[in-house]
Amino acid sequence: MHDVRALLDLGDEAVRKLARRGYALDLSVLSDLQDRRNQSIYSADELRAESKRVAKQVTEAARAGEDVTELKEHARQLKEQIREREQEQERIQQELREFVLGIPNLPLDSAPEGDSEDFAVELRKVGTPPAFDFDPKDHVDLGEAMGIFDFTRATKLSGPRFSITRGVGAALERALAWFFLTLHTQRHDYVEYGVPFLVTPTTMTGTGQLPKFEEDLFKTGVADRDLYLIPTAEVPLTNLFADEILAPADLPLGLTAHTPCFRSEAGSYGRDTRGILRQHQFAKVEMVRVCAAEDSQSEMDKMVSHAETCLKELDLAYRVVALAAGDMGFSAQLTHDLEVWLPSQNTYREISSVSDCGTFQARRAGIRTRTVEGKTTPVATLNGSGMPIGRTMAAILEQNQQPDGSVILPEALVPHLGFRRIGPDGTPQE
């Protein structure tokens, strides 16, 4: 959420920045709402002051034995006017809040121009995509042939865009989650959390999913409460500190969690509807960092390196790109994507987005720290995948497939699995 006064002070500069991400900010609407809000506050305060003066007059007149009928009627009218002004103030405040909640974060000038993935700027490539002397299969054909995926029964249970893993497939999922969590907690100094998978509308609003993106969420309820299934652990992890003031000495904070993620994924995504690349439910290990606002860029560099370590340890070929301003998520001011090589598509595909949200989410959620002068100020929040389980599985299967349909597993996973190869029939092999 934005500081309204800061947006108005930026003026045309705020309009320019938001236009880079395809949002047209109407400063006149924002200014009018702010002026009406301020006027309603001023008017209510004036009426309260007048009410106090009249109340004092009633007391003095009564003590003097004077008739206070007219004064009491005036006092009653003032109280009614105050109630009306307070109701008006509440309506204007809500209107202003709804308007501001719909404004995305201001992109940093370092974010490339453009409005789609076609405008992403490649920063670096790591590893060499494998070369095959046979036609490589995609992860769906590989997994179904080995019997480690079962999309047919998943559809029977839940409809399309769900999957079932079996045997070695389920073991590989579990090993990846364990591997990522161990990496982040033991080498990258993140604290692991177990969090709820159902959260309140207020929690969703804090990280920017509501109110703008409700159609992308799964909504349910418990008793008299509306709840949403989390689209990522970023939501509960970041909101752990909602409405809190964090001690400067405790920053930065690193948090991680392994959770299911639920997304409606409205619309059609062509070939992405096949397999495990884009599903309604998937598992992911998430990274979140909370820091002083001035440290967000250095913390982002650190976070990207943590995500890259996951892929390097698994010996997967990937690249890092800077997303265009118009292609970033609603809450991000800068995003770097990690894209892993998928032989079946002969291209790099996104596997992790690391985003610096600046103070945007912290303002919405009320997460603050103190300056050296003792004043409260919003922190900065960052988030990124470290890593999604399904997409990592797809990359491992495709990049390490063998002519006979078997798959050689990354050495880093062997201690977690106890075997080095998945046979063509889905059996573990030394």
Q: What's the confidence (pLDDT) of residue 350? A: 97
pLDDT above 60: residue 267: no
Nearest to 350 by CA among 337, 363, 362: 337
pLDDT confidence tier of residue 228, bands split at 50, 70 and 90 = very high
Residues forming a β-bridge with 347:
342
Q: Is 305 annotated as a binding residue?
A: no
Residue 265 clears pLDDT 90, i.e. is over it: no
pLDDT in tens, 173-217: 999 999 999 999 999 999 999 999 999 999 999 999 999 999 999
The full length of the chain comes to 430
Q: Give the C-alpha separation, 232 to 192, whole Å.
A: 15
Question: Is the model's pTM score more than 0.75?
Answer: yes
pLDDT for res 270: 54
Judged against a pLDDT cut of 80, whether residue 14 lies above it is answered with yes
| 59-97 per-position pLDDT tens digit | 999 999 999 999 999 999 999 999 999 999 999 999 999
The mean pLDDT of 405-416, rounded to a whole number, is 97
Structure tokens at 425: 């029939």
According to the model, what pLDDT value does residue 271 have? 55
CA proximity to 317, closest of 295, 300, 336, 339: 339
For the cut 80, the answer to whether the pLDDT of residue 269 exceeds it is no
Tokens coding 93: 């405040």
Alpha carbon distances (Å) from 254 to 59, 72, 145, 209? 60, 60, 40, 22
Confirm if 240 and 257 have CB atoms less than 8 A apart.
no
Give residues with Cβ within 8 angstroms of 81, minimum separation 6: 47
Cα distance between residue 13 and residue 114, in whole Å:
18
List the end-to-end C-alpha distance of the chain, in Å, as a whole number: 53
Provide, rounded to the nearest whole percent, the portion of the chain with pLDDT above 70.
98
Lowest mean pLDDT among 216-225, 382-391, 396-405: 216-225
Please check if 352 is assigned to a binding site. Answer: yes
Interval 120-174: pLDDT, tens: 999 999 999 999 999 999 999 999 999 999 999 999 999 999 999 999 999 999 9
Please check if 148 is assigned to a binding site. no
Residues with a known catalytic role: 263, 278, 350, 353, 391
- Least Cα distance to 386 among 190, 111, 162 occurs for 190
Task: Find out whether 265 is annotated in a ligand binding site.
Answer: yes
98 is in an annotated binding site: no
Tell me the mean pLDDT in the region 386-394.
97
Query: Does residue 273 carry a pLDDT above 70?
Result: no
At residue 129, the pLDDT reads: 97
298 annotated ligand-binding residue: no
Rg (CA), the chain: 27
